[in-house]
Amino acid sequence: MQYRRKQDIHMSAVAINPLNRAVRFYEAPIGKKAVMAVTGVMLVGYVIGHLLGNLQIYSSDPQQINRYAAFLHNPSNALALWGVRLILLAAVVLHIVSSVQLWQQNREARPLRYYKKADVPTSYAARTMLWSGPIVAAFVIFHVLHLTTGSILPLHDIGPNMPDVRYNVVSGFQNYWVSGFYIFAMILLCMHLYHGLWSMFQSVGISHPRYTSKLKKGAAIVAILIAIGNCSIPIAVMAGLVTY
């Protein structure tokens, strides 16, 4: 006789449809905000990792950053590289799509504007998230075209899968327009993170009178440090401190 799986007859058995749950989750603004928080963590994690990689340009060994680039581009790492790229792309798409949907809903929630409206505690950074976001996104596209695909300035290679990062960065940042746009975008990124780095905790429900004020300060410090680190590279190139 064949063994038949026992039916669950416990009182606590309930129909749990994961698809229903996911739909209900994303339908809710709180769910969309949680999506923005989680994708935000992923993106800011990448930003910090990317910055740490970039800071190798200050190494006393001028070839250090090129060795790091060759390591990343090594064909044996291709799977990991493309895996990370796809995950980041998915995070960017989810972050943007949910923010646009929330923005649309929020705009419709107040069809008639106030004649006079004050912003009591809202920081400039929080008020301009919808401006800093798209500009940083445009910058990311510019940055990829500039230093990954070489569509803006021709890129040098040392060998196959070995980009000459040092040359490409220095020659790019010697152009004041390019450097200016990088610095501008990094300041906006700093503002975006100034609000977003704290906000993501609130969105997933982490708030405590003992820790929230420290969390806000910590978020501001991290945002400023990221901006200083990133802006230092074009400034150092233009000042002639980093050369090819």
Footprint on this chain of other proteins (rule: CB under 8 A):
12, 14-16, 20-21, 24-25, 27-34, 102, 105-106, 108-123, 126-127, 129, 195, 198-199, 201-209, 212
**Residue 69 CB, nearest distance to other proteins (Å)?**
38
Q: What whole-number distance in Å separates Cα of residue 137 and Cα of residue 92?
A: 9
**Residue 56 CB, nearest distance to other proteins (Å)?**
35
Structure tokens at 15: 């129909």
SS3 159: strand
**Residue 164 CB, nearest distance to other proteins (Å)?**
43
User: Is 166:236 a contact under the CB 8 Å cutoff?
Assistant: no
Q: Which is nearer to other proteins, 63 or 105 (CB)?
A: 105
Backbone angles phi, psi at 134, to 5 degrees: -60, -35
Q: Which is nearer to other proteins, 182 or 201 (CB)?
A: 201
Q: Where are the beta strands (DSSP E) in the chain?
A: 157-159, 162-163
Q: Which is nearer to other proteins, 126 or 158 (CB)?
A: 126
SS3 168: helix
User: Is 154:222 a contact under the CB 8 Å cutoff?
Assistant: no
Q: What whole-number distance in Å separates Cα of residue 125 and Cα of residue 178?
A: 24
**Residue 120 CB, nearest distance to other proteins (Å)?**
4
Q: Which is nearer to other proteins, 166 or 195 (CB)?
A: 195
Q: Which is nearer to other proteins, 3 or 114 (CB)?
A: 114
**Residue 41 CB, nearest distance to other proteins (Å)?**
15
